[in-house]
């Protein structure tokens, strides 16, 4: 997520920024240490004013609890937001998902007469059907209606890929309303230090290391990597595959490892962002995967930018727009999603390369990041779009069109 670095970037350019959010609970579904659920809490982090409102913390497979998480934030943000977000507002930046975040945004829009920039990072209801969260017709129909309504109300809509742009246009969203700004990573976290303590803790000296870092949910389908690791046990004796993170499928993945007698996989709890880069720097290859699904052919995982910036060869089980980026960059090997043999072969291919070959792939990825994903350029592009929204005028006639 763009989160704090985006807010800081805008503030450094002279803009007044306030953040309306909930209490941090992702990805564990538990309130972070140092926080306690309250009706409202005001924080100031690195000179950014943050308004936190009550929500129901959850991030599991249960659609009821997940829906409570999404809806509770929307309700309390709508109730509390107008009272705590003070002063003149020109633009409301809305990070989607979930779809419910547009509800408090529309309340603020009505009261503050501010424009709306909707940043679509996951396409709904497509994502929740692809991950199996909701499959009943009525809720899906309601979500579809709500998203179309949200698209109508937004002044501008940012999407991460050409594929999503095309899908929204097919659904009736006006071409002039859609923009596409690539996601960047928090460049302040990028360094080239090595976490030698991590090497010692997990006995990884002289190992060939592949690391996956991030969410472990249905969309990622990480069982493919687990079976690839099993195949590589006899091919690369020094091979270790490390999973860092949490998600609804974590326990299933651990059970799978035990049942298949796989000994070259290590699960590591979520690491703070400021510690993660030094661990990823230990990797010989970094891993990305999304399940084979039409939706994910137009999805761009945010970790692509992060992996490029770090500068390590990538092996990715991806298709469509995301696969095209990696192929174009030359920064990694693309495999068919859910194809265990292809992914194992891709990892083996990196293993057989000499250091110079691996460094060449890594350098191409870093160059592609600098040329296409840089944070400075991304924030500049968002700033220009927000200025365009302001120019549309206080009446926000574009928000009230009956046509999307």
Strands 115-120 and 91-96: parallel
The answer for residues whose C-beta is within 8 angstroms of residue 117's C-beta and 6 or more apart is 91, 92, 93, 94, 154, 155, 156, 157, 158, 382, 385, 386, 389
Q: Domains in the chain, start-ordered, CATH in brackets?
A: 3-184+374-400 (3.40.50.2000), 187-372 (3.40.50.2000)
Please give the chain's pLDDT, 404 residues, in tens. 467 889 999 999 999 999 999 998 876 777 888 888 889 999 999 899 999 999 888 876 666 777 788 889 999 999 999 999 988 899 999 998 888 999 999 999 999 999 999 999 888 877 777 666 667 788 788 888 999 999 999 999 999 888 899 999 998 998 889 999 988 888 888 988 999 999 999 999 999 999 999 999 888 999 999 999 999 999 999 999 999 999 889 999 999 999 999 999 999 999 988 899 999 999 999 999 999 988 888 889 989 999 999 999 999 999 999 999 999 999 999 999 999 999 999 999 999 999 999 999 999 999 999 999 888 989 999 999 999 999 875 444 444 343 34
How far is it, in rounded angstroms, from Cα 333 to Cα 342?
A: 10
Query: Degrees (nearest 5) of the Cα angle 271, 273, 276?
Result: 60
Using DSSP's 3-state secondary structure scheme, residue 59 falls into coil
Which pTM was predicted?
0.85
Distance CA(278)–CA(103), nearest Å, equals 39
Q: 336 vs 9, 213, 302, 308, 333, CA distance in Å?
A: 37, 20, 19, 20, 10
Which candidate, 276, 303, 274, 281, places its Cα nearest to that of 204?
Answer: 281
- The pLDDT of residue 61 is 60
User: Rg of the chain's alpha carbons, rounded to an integer?
Assistant: 22
End-to-end CA distance of the chain: 26
């Amino acid at each position: 997520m763009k989160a704090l670095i985006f807010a800081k970037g805008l503030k450094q350019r002279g803009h007044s920024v306030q953040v309306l959010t909930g209490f941090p609970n992702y990805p564990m579904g538990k309130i972070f240490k140092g926080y306690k659920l309250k009706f409202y809490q005001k924080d100031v982090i690195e000179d950014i004013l943050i308004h936190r409102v009550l929500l129901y913390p959850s991030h599991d497979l249960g659609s009821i609890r997940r829906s409570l998480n999404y809806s509770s934030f929307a309700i309390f943000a709508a109730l509390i937001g107008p009272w705590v977000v003070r002063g003149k507002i020109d633009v409301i930046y809305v990070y989607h998902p979930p779809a419910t975040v547009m509800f408090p945004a529309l309340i603020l829009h009505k009261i503050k007469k501010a424009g709306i920039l909707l940043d679509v990072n996951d396409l709904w209801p497509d994502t929740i059907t692809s991950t199996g969260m909701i499959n009943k017709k009525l809720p899906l129909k309601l979500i579809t209606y709500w998203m179309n309504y949200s698209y109508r109300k937004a002044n501008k809509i940012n999407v991460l890929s050409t594929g999503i742009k095309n899908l929204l246009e097919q659904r009736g969203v006006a071409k002039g309303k859609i923009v596409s700004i690539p996601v960047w990573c928090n460049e302040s976290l990028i360094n080239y230090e090595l976490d030698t303590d991590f090497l010692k803790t997990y006995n990884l000296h002289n190992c060939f290391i592949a690391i996956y870092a991030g969410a472990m949910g249905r969309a990622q389908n990480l069982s493919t990597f687990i079976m690839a690791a099993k195949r590589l046990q006899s091919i690369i004796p020094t091979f270790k595959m490390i999973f860092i993170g949490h998600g609804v499928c974590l326990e299933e993945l651990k059970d799978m490892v035990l049942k298949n007698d796989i000994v070259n996989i290590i699960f590591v709890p979520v690491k703070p962002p400021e510690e993660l880069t030094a661990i990823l720097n230990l990797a010989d290859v970094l891993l990305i995967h999304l399940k084979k699904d039409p939706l994910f052919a137009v999805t761009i995982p945010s970790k692509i930018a992060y992996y490029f910036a770090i500068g390590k060869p990538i092996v990715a089980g991806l298709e469509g727009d995301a696969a095209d980026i990696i192929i174009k960059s030359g920064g990694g090997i693309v495999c068919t999603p859910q194809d265990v043999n292809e992914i194992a072969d891709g990892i083996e291919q990196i293993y057989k390369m000499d250091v110079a070959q691996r460094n060449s792939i890594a350098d191409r990825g870093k160059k592609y990041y600098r040329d296409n994903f840089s944070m400075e350029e991304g924030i500049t592009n968002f700033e220009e779009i927000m200025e365009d929204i302001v120019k549309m005028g206080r009446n926000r006639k574009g928000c009230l069109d009956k046509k999307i």
